[in-house]
Copies of this chain bind each other. A is one copy, B any other.
């Protein structure tokens, strides 16, 4: 009777981080393909090549997975925008705003499917977390700083930030719906519109 290995072939234990990643990746693909509600834990586990029980070793529930993906989405989105803005001269406010718009549109167009998954709340208390959107603060700061620097003029930076952010969001939604994927032209027009809003009297 052979005593040796046999299990060396398929290491039953992977580093936890990898496992988690496997599951997250599998879930993302399925959520995008068939929606969160329709995807079963079973399917996620199968696709991640993991037993159903193992899933629960890493996540408490399906919603927990969605939350993790949301976290990651928001961070990634924000980083991307920050990187774009960071590439602009510190005192070129118009460029910074344009970068915000351009990077925001591009990032959204790239990942709107994940966005939909991740912001498709099922709970009635959805009205709690949106306020946490850190981009609103970023944008508000940008507007306020530009105003202070005399680049433009805004009375209520918070309000303007909300309008700009939602305007951008809605514009991309509209573009996606209508199959327009030319983010460049979109960014151009949108920036122009936003800058009109910021013109001093």
Contacts and interface: CB of A to CB of B under 8 A. Distances in A.
A197 B122 CA distance: 36
Given A189-B155, A196-B197, A199-B199, A167 B174 contact: no
Interface stretch (A18-26, A68-76, A82-90, A124-132): A124-132
Interface of A: 32-35, 37, 116-117, 120-124, 126-128, 130-131, 136, 155-156, 159-160, 162-171, 173-174, 176-178, 189-190, 192-193, 196-199
Contact of A193 (B160, B176, B177): B160
Contacts of A159: 171, 189-190, 193
A193 B163 contact: yes
Q: Considering residues A117, A124, A171, which has the most beta carbons from chain B within 10 angstroms of its beta carbon?
A: A124
- Grouping DSSP codes into helix (H, G, I), strand (E, B) and loop, the A interface class, with mixed when no group exceeds half, is helix
B173 A127 contact: yes
B130 A126 contact: no
A162 to B, nearest CB: 5
A183 to B, nearest CB: 14
Contacts of A37: 37, 122
Contact of A177 (B34, B131, B192): B131
Contact of A166 (B121, B167, B177): B167
B34 A124 contact: yes
8 contacts: A120-B126, A127-B177, A128-B177, A130-B173, A131-B178, A156-B189, A163-B190, A169-B170
